[in-house]
């Protein structure tokens, strides 16, 4: 099925049964297996502060992960979209997730917050992102810095110095680990025009934001726990056996950015 045939209508039960006074954000998590980190991600978001709707996109996960997601929608108050019900292209389908999320966020005139399934947020992460969105000048994207279990900055923000300011404008790309995309920026671009030859789009979209005249911000004071590549363990080769990683990347057309 082609994505152009998908009709997203927020009034037709596309959102969860969360009780909110006013929707201030759409929070989205793409999931590909890794049920343990997925559970931790969803649990943390389910108890986070803020008035937001939460949608989980299941990208052709195994039966174990799909069963967990389908059996826990009510408990964790999220709306599940199984991509296999809409498309038949093999995972990763990040472009499809971005297209559908953009449409839903724009229909409700709210920021889109991407939180990936190997990231565990804090209780105030979403409300702090929304506060910064309302206070920082002309934001395109706002990313929370990632840390390991010892609290050290880790991939993809290992380069960030601990003595940097609490937040900073950046011309470097923001990962989608935990990132807010503003409605103004969402309205200035069309994710349906993203290249279907890529797997990941954070670098391209970060550049699009700057080219459109917005600022991208990285927030050091708002750290989130990142357990990198839990759903795709072969990508750990990038750090342990880089030659093998790039061989797989080139010969098997994996991890295209």
Q: Is the pLDDT of residue 2 over 50?
A: no
- Average pLDDT across the chain, whole number: 87
pTM value is 0.86
Residue 254: pLDDT band (50, 70, 90) is low
Tokens of 157: 């923000």
By CB atoms closer than 10 A (0-12, 13-18, 19+), residue 193 is: exposed
Which pLDDT does position 199 carry in this prediction? Answer: 86
Tokens of 112: 């889109």
CATH of the domain at 185: 3.90.550.10
Q: Is the pLDDT of residue 257 over 80?
A: no
Residue 248 within a domain: no
Residue-wise pLDDT for 136-153, tens only, equals 999 999 999 999 999 999
Q: How many domains does the chain have?
A: 1
Residue 253 within a domain: no
Residue 251 within a domain: no
Residue 47 within a domain: yes
238 against 208, higher pLDDT: 208
Residue 179 within a domain: yes
Residue-wise pLDDT for 25-81, tens only, equals 999 999 999 899 999 999 999 999 999 999 999 999 999 999 999 999 999 999 999
Domain ranges, residue 113: 3-231
């Amino acid at each position: 099925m082609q994505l152009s045939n998908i009709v997203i209508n927020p009034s037709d039960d596309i959102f969860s049964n969360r009780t909110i006074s006013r929707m201030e954000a759409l929070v989205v998590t793409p999931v590909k297996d890794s049920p343990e980190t997925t559970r931790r991600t969803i649990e943390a978001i389910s108890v986070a502060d803020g008035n937001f709707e939460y949608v989980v996109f299941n990208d052709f996960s195994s039966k174990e992960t799909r069963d967990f997601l389908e059996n826990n929608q009510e408990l964790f108050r999220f709306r599940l979209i199984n991509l296999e019900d809409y498309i038949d292209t093999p995972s990763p389908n990040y472009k499809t997730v971005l297209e559908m999320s953009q449409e839903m966020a724009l229909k409700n005139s709210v920021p889109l917050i991407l939180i990936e399934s190997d990231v565990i947020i804090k209780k105030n992460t979403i409300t702090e992102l929304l506060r910064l969105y309302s206070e920082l000048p002309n934001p395109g994207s706002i990313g929370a810095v990632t840390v390991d279990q010892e609290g050290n900055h880790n991939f993809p923000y290992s380069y960030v110095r601990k003595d940097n300011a609490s937040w900073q404008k950046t011309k470097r790309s923001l990962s989608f680990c935990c990132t807010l995309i503003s409605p103004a920026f969402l309205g200035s671009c069309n994710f349906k025009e993203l290249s279907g030859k890529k797997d990941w789009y954070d670098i391209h979209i970060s550049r699009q934001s700057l080219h459109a005249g917005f600022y991208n911000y990285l927030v050091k004071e708002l750290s989130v726990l990142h357990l990198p590549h839990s759903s795709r363990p072969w990508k750990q080769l990038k750090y342990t056996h880089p030659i093998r990683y790039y061989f797989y990347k080139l010969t098997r057309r994996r991890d295209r950015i």
